[in-house]
Structure 1
Amino acid sequence: MAPLRFDIRQAALPDAHGLAEVHVRAWREAYAGRMPQSLLDGLSVSDRIASWQRILTSEAEPEAPWRSWLSDNEGRVAGFISIGPSRDEDLPPHIELYALYVLADAYGSGAGQALMDVASDFARPTSLWVLDDNPRAQAFYRRNGFAFDGAEKVDEYNGVKLRELRMVRDEV
């Protein structure tokens, strides 16, 4: 298989559909067997399009404190990353990595690392929340200097409780 070629660029409103498709597909790929299949089957690209339109419209504001970038593979979105101010009140002000998703067929291509590298230019120190049963993501974040700080939370998503663990990185 030929290596994937990709460019990293800031996401914009016309990217909402591609981001939504990747968001849903990446969840289904990354969380199969980790979340109930009914939850994954119930994910809606059209719902995600509306959500991404709101996100990208707010990010277009000059003073917006959050940003998203995407990995463009010859005109198709292969992954994305979103960062912004931390939502955790128990930590000093810092940046939070809200989401990082890459399609399974782009695993190992460097797309995820390139997205992390771009976000790292803006993100010192940084925290993130990762599903407790996601060893692939946890290993990726450890390679990028993140470590568990002992904080955990249980979020409910469409009636399903998901246990997440916090990872932090002081410097890049």
Structure 2
Amino acid sequence: MTMIYKPTTTMNELKKMNKRKNVYFQTGVFGSDDSEIVKIAAIHEFGGEIKVKKNRYVPVLGVTLKAGTIITMPSRKWLTITFERNRETIDRIIKANLKKIAEGKLTVEGSNEIIAVALSSLTKKEMGNGVTKPKHREGQPMVDTGRLRQSIGTKVDYKGKTKGYGEG
């Protein structure tokens, strides 16, 4: 008996996926380390200290902060919390995509784009939910202006070749 091997689109897609063992997804705020929005994103995610550079009146507090004053900012997780809260959703998206790839209805690249955009969307949706409220002001610093949320983007890295989606 002779078997004839004829590669199918699905088989080719699965082979591509197997060869691409190093696909990384990055979601967050991208830019140079000294960009203002990257600093804002980092201080919210990790907390830290900010040194006041020059005297500045803060109307909400009704005080003037003197140059050299150290302000301690608490961590207000906005990125890692998304993955903790949405692990099952992300797993469902990946499983659904794998099924579509196996059926020949989706390419690996298409799947990666869907996952990347979903990660960014989930992060934007979760931003500000359940974070520590500030003690000395109304509102939520991360979401009041929308600037941080709008700066969230996502990237897919295929062994050093990066594709970006969304802001950032």
TM-score (norm 1): 0.24
Higher helix share: 2
TM-score by length of 2: 0.24
Select the structure that is richer in strand.
1
- Bigger RCO of structures 1 and 2 (CA < 8 A, at least 6 apart): 2
Asked which structure has the greater CA Rg, the reply is 2
